[in-house]
Amino acid sequence: MSGLEVFHEKQRLELCAIHALNNVLQERVFTKEAADDICKRLAPQCVVNPHRSVLGTGNYDVNVIMSALQSRGLAAVWWDKRRSVQSIFLEKVQGFILNVPSRVSLGLVSLPLRRRHWLAVRQVNGQYYNLDSKLKNPVWIGGETEL
């Protein structure tokens, strides 16, 4: 990364949505408390909030991400992965937040369960990086053609 500092928040609990938001914004803006407040605003009458884990460990849904972005004057645009990336007007895009399948492990043993995981991809100084919070460091992708 040639001395360039790329903000990269690492995975903690089930807070991948928060990490993806902060990584795409390139600063620590959102916290678990802020996400929990958003959940309460989205479902104020619910005893069991449908937008997060009942265990209080995170696992926030897309509504929390969209509301968090809106609170910063940003908008999320749904994207169908079957469409070509070349049709995206990248000059208008601050970053990408992806929801991908993720394996569940108990130590070194991989369980036959599937969960969903939020991760961020962001351009920094003309280069794109995979800012998945499960990675040890940001992974360089390259320029627009490699995206």
Catalytic annotation, residues: 16, 117, 132
User: Which residues fall within 8 angstroms of residue 67, CB to CB, at 6 or more apart?
Assistant: 38, 41, 42
Q: Which parts of the chain fold into alpha helices (H)?
A: 16-25, 32-42, 62-71
- Report residue 93 as tokens: 């895009």
